[in-house]
């Protein structure tokens, strides 16, 4: 039996051996991976794309060490709505309640970003990041932590300067935000949602976007900016900081394709005043400004400009010879189209500095220089409670489907006008309904002052049949040119 099994056992060993060899050969084979995409590699000028990638990498390497995360601790005071109820002597006597506190205090934490601008620890960020802070912790890219102090801030710009006690720190390179153009590359580095050192890339979508105050002219980008990015740098393709990421436009609170940055030149101007004076002072000209619409610009034969509606007494404007209804075309050589353009340029100039205005007066261009003073606080004057109004003159004037009456002193004051007549009503068919509304003040028509109802009657009698009318109107503290053509 043994002799009969031996050939079978030998055969089995041979089969197993051969199977082992074949399996070993099968599993020892390596896949030959293709590592080159010939279609892409052979693209004309592909090397320039690789060079751009190297630039973007080098921006990250050089700028990230100077970008910091900022953690803010603050306290919120919440009134106790039940304090009076439970502190009532009746409840305390019969129910034994202890006296309730009048308020509760809750600790809050916030986060943002910033960037180092000097080796000895000066940092730029946003004011809203550190507003109300009791303690500010700055975390560097190497995870070192420092407690920061607020050197100063510019609330109207939403800008703050911080300082940490450190030396030999990495710093950013500062660029020129005046050279930024639509289409430029834009890079943001910051601390979105607590993810420090986040790098995003996009382009400049618009420049000089109006902000929440007249002193904000934002750079708009499509670079991804989220909560926590505030205060971080906006960087150009040269690796220079050209802005401070400040805000987004969003319905959800997260990035939706639109973000805004403070131009770095504007921030540096504020920083200079903070470091040298301890606060920010803005220039003041002493004029009330009004916007000029497209129809009116056409009638005046101009492409841009801002109306001077009123000149304050003893102001720099009055001393320079500026008059109501002058039109500012340029400020220091820069074209202005809206009142906020003038406000920004004047406010960006220091008190005591001189500005040159190109003005259109009676169809002629003239140049006027004015020395600015410190801008006072305060808003549009309003009628005082209990102030006695002057009674309206009897009668009214009907003109182009509108009814006009004399204006009281409080109506003039509330609308920011020194004189004029009040629009009492407008018919549905009136062509004036496109440019006027009840309650506004008409100060002039076709460059003729309308100081009272008699002036208005005289104008209608002389010019009522003309084809076009250019109104100067005051409404809610603002003064405008508005024109119609029949």
Q: Indicate if 428 belongs to the active site.
A: no
68 band by pLDDT with thresholds 50, 70 and 90:
very high
State the Cα torsion 334-337-340-343 to the nearest 10°. 40
Task: Quote the tokens at residue 210.
Answer: 């109006």
The pLDDT value recorded for residue 388 is: 37
Average pLDDT over residues 13-29: 62
Q: Higher model confidence: residue 14 or residue 343?
A: 343
- CA pair distance 113, 159, nearest whole angstrom: 12
Q: Do 352 and 342 contact (CB within 8 A), yes or no?
A: no
- CA pair distance 344, 355, nearest whole angstrom: 13
Helix H or strand E segment including 201:
strand 198-210
44 band by pLDDT with thresholds 50, 70 and 90:
very high
- CA pair distance 30, 367, nearest whole angstrom: 82
Q: Indicate if 154 belongs to the active site.
A: no
pTM of the full predicted structure?
Answer: 0.64
| Alpha helices (H) in 168-300, listed in sequence order | 264-277, 294-300
Name which of 352, 351, 355 is nearest 328 in CA terms. 355
Name which of 161, 283, 262 is nearest 216 in CA terms. 262
Average pLDDT over residues 429-457: 89
pLDDT at 22 over 80: no
Same fold, 283-374 and 397-485: yes
- Which one-letter DSSP state was computed for residue 439? T
Structural domain spans, the chain: 64-163, 173-265, 283-374, 397-485
The pLDDT value recorded for residue 456 is: 92
- CA pair distance 244, 113, nearest whole angstrom: 10
Q: Do 308 and 322 contact (CB within 8 A), yes or no?
A: yes
Active-site pick, 113, 128, 205, 259: 128
Active-site pick, 69, 154, 158, 348: 158
Which residue matches tokens 């960006």?
348
pLDDT at 384 over 50: no
How far is residue 178 from each of residues 203, 218, 374, measured CA to CA in Å? 16, 12, 25
The pLDDT value recorded for residue 403 is: 92
Strands 364-371 and 334-335: unpaired
pLDDT at 378 over 50: no
SS3 194: helix
| Domain covering 173-265: architecture | Beta Barrel (2.40)
When the candidates are 3.30.70.260, 2.40.10.10, 2.60.40.10, 2.30.110.10, the CATH number that belongs to 64-163 is 2.40.10.10
Q: Indicate if 230 belongs to the active site.
A: yes
| Alpha helices (H) in 96-180, listed in sequence order | 127-130
Question: Which residues have CB under 8 Å from 453's CB, separation 6+?
Answer: 393, 395, 396, 397, 404, 405, 406, 421
Q: Is 363 left (phi over 0), alpha (psi -120 to 50) or beta?
A: left
CATH fold of 397-485, please? Answer: Pdz3 Domain (2.30.42)
User: pLDDT per residue over 421-434, tens digit each?
Assistant: 999 998 888 888 88
User: pLDDT per residue over 215-237, tens digit each?
Assistant: 678 899 999 888 888 899 999 99
Q: How many helices (H) and strands (E) does the chain have?
A: 12, 28
Name which of 311, 305, 272 is nearest 288 in CA terms. 311
Task: Quote the tokens at residue 198.
Answer: 């986040």
User: pLDDT per residue over 164-205, tens digit each?
Assistant: 999 999 999 999 999 999 999 999 999 888 888 899 999 999
Name which of 191, 342, 201, 186 is nearest 264 in CA terms. 186
Active-site pick, 196, 230, 270, 348: 230
Positive/negative CA dihedral, 161, 166, 172, 175? positive
CATH superfamily of 283-374: PDZ domain (2.30.42.10)
- CA pair distance 336, 304, nearest whole angstrom: 6
Which residue matches tokens 């009048």?
102
Question: Which residues have CB under 8 Å from 392's CB, separation 6+?
Answer: 405, 406, 407, 408
């Amino acid at each position: 039996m043994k002799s009969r099994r031996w050939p079978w056992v030998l055969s089995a060993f041979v089969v197993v051996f051969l199977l082992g060899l074949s399996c070993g050969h099968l599993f020892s084979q390596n896949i030959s991976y293709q590592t080159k995409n010939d279609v892409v590699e052979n693209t004309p000028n592909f090397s320039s794309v690789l060079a751009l990638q190297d630039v973007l990498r080098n921006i990250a390497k050089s700028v990230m060490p100077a970008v910091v995360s900022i953690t803010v601790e603050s306290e919120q005071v919440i009134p106790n709505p039940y304090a009076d109820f439970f502190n009532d002597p009746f409840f305390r006597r019969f129910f034994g309640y202890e006296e309730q506190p009048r308020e509760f205090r809750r600790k809050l934490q916030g986060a943002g970003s910033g960037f180092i601008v000097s080796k000895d620890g000066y940092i730029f960020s946003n004011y809203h990041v550190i507003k109300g802070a009791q303690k500010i912790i700055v975390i560097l890219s190497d995870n070192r932590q420092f407690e920061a102090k607020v050197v100063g801030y510019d609330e109207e710009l939403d800008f703050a300067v911080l300082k940490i006690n450190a030396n030999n720190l990495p710093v950013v390179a500062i660029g020129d935000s005046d050279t930024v153009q639509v289409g430029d590359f834009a890079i943001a580095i910051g601390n979105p949602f607590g993810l420090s050192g986040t790098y995003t890339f996009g382009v400049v979508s618009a420049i000089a976007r109006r902000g929440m105050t007249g002193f904000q002219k934002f750079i708009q980008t499509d670079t991804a900016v989220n909560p926590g990015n505030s205060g971080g740098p906006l960087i150009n393709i040269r690796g220079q900081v050209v802005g401070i990421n400040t805000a987004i436009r969003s319905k959800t609170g997260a990035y939706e394709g639109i973000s805004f940055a403070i131009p770095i030149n504007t921030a540096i101007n504020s920083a200079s005043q903070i470091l040298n004076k301890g606060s920010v002072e803005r220039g003041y000209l002493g004029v009330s400004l009004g916007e000029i619409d497209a129809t009116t610009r056409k009638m005046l034969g101009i492409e841009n400009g801002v109306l001077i509606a009123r000149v304050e007494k003893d102001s720099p404007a009055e001393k320079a010879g500026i008059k109501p209804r002058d039109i500012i075309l340029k400020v220091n050589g820069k074209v202005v189209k809206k009142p906020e353009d003038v406000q920004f340029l004047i406010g960006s100039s220091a008190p005591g500095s001189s500005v040159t205005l190109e003005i259109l007066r009676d169809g002629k261009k003239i140049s006027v220089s004015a020395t600015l003073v410190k801008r006072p606080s305060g808003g549009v004057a309003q009628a005082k409670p209990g102030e006695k109004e002057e009674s309206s003159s009897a009668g009214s004037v009907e003109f182009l489907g509108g009814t006009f009456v004399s204006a009281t002193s409080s109506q003039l004051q509330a609308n920011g006008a020194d004189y004029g007549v009040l629009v009492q009503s407008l018919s549905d068919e009136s062509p004036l309904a496109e440019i006027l509304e009840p309650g506004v003040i008409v100060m002039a028509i076709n460059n003729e002052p309308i100081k009272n109802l008699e002036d208005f009657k005289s104008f209608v009698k002389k010019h009522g049949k003309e084809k076009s009318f250019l109104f100067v109107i005051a409404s809610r503290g603002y003064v405008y040119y508005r024109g119609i053509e029949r």
